[in-house]
Structure 1
């Protein structure tokens, strides 16, 4: 009788998947959506991020998300990325302290069946075949250097990320059981099939709440986490006064740092356009905007520190 009970207990145990995200908004959100899908299939999921980011996360009060959250240290528990002396210092310490504390977490939990780690696969550094000065990938037109991310065409622009994150992440790629790509098959069939000849690759995108895709998960309509305090109320109020489909949404994310002349060129382009625009500019970057830009464009543009992309793209004027 005792043996049968042990067998029943073992068979009813949920598989436990540990999901590790690099501590930036654009990585946490897709992994959270993927985690909700796994949980919906009956898998126990724990999302892992850094201690500092966990303190900074703003949870949507209307979200039904129940994914467990665990933390590791990146070596900068008080200030995160902003506390680091440089990009290189942060990445070096993350790879040292982060790996150590993540290993300790896995050992402490003692019930982890699989681990999913988010990499920069979308940066395109997967043994790309080169012809002259062009990049050739089956299913895509020839790419000139300026068509690729700056991580690739100008490695010196983000040397720390290029070395530790973009390049070295593929050093043990052949040891992975599966390569999961945040894309969807119908978008790039030829590329997906070509990559599938080299690795066990599956596309898992688009990683959006179920409401906007198949509606399989009831009430799943929010991302759930925001690193920045989202400027939702003022942004949505401003959008309500604009016709549906009439606003350009602009954001370069959290990591990219534009030169002053690049940000100015983008600003003047938006000002000269005949479109309304909602522009998310990080607070640390707003000093690079042309003088009086916000005032001069107040009739057609709205500059905010952060506004969730999903909320903007799914918005309908009321």
Structure 2
């Protein structure tokens, strides 16, 4: 039988998260320092139990978690929330097969196992239409501001949301208009902490 435990670790700002830190660099350093320490404490806490920690599954955004796992002689597995294409690009960069920044001469980007990648061919409207005919789903995207894609919306450089500055009021207002127990929150690699409220 597999026992899976989910336990929190500290980013050093347990009362208010990122808003307490003031800036990204300070937050990430604190998260690495406090996160490494509290993850090590958590592994140690269970080391003499009937089910000690034998693998840490961590968000790929937090690579220092692998260092902590190795220090304790246990496995570490990165959980990538990116698409397979993005993971392939990261692997090519990691192995020195693709260098950044890309230059205009390097387009279209040619990588083994992937179609030629250009800003024009990375539009997925056909796929979106095909999927919506099969599944009654609403596809969201593109998740990139227009300025970085086709510039149809002049001056659109913002994402409209931020990991660092949540849209709390807007979200609460929207949620209050929905029937009770009708909304499910699914997070793929979020740094947001939610209370029971």
Q: What's the TM-score bracket when you normalise by the shorter of the two chains?
A: 0.3 to 0.5
TM-score (norm: length of structure 2)? 0.44
TM-score using structure 1 length: 0.29
Q: Which has the larger radius of gyration?
A: 1
Normalized per residue, which structure has more strand?
1
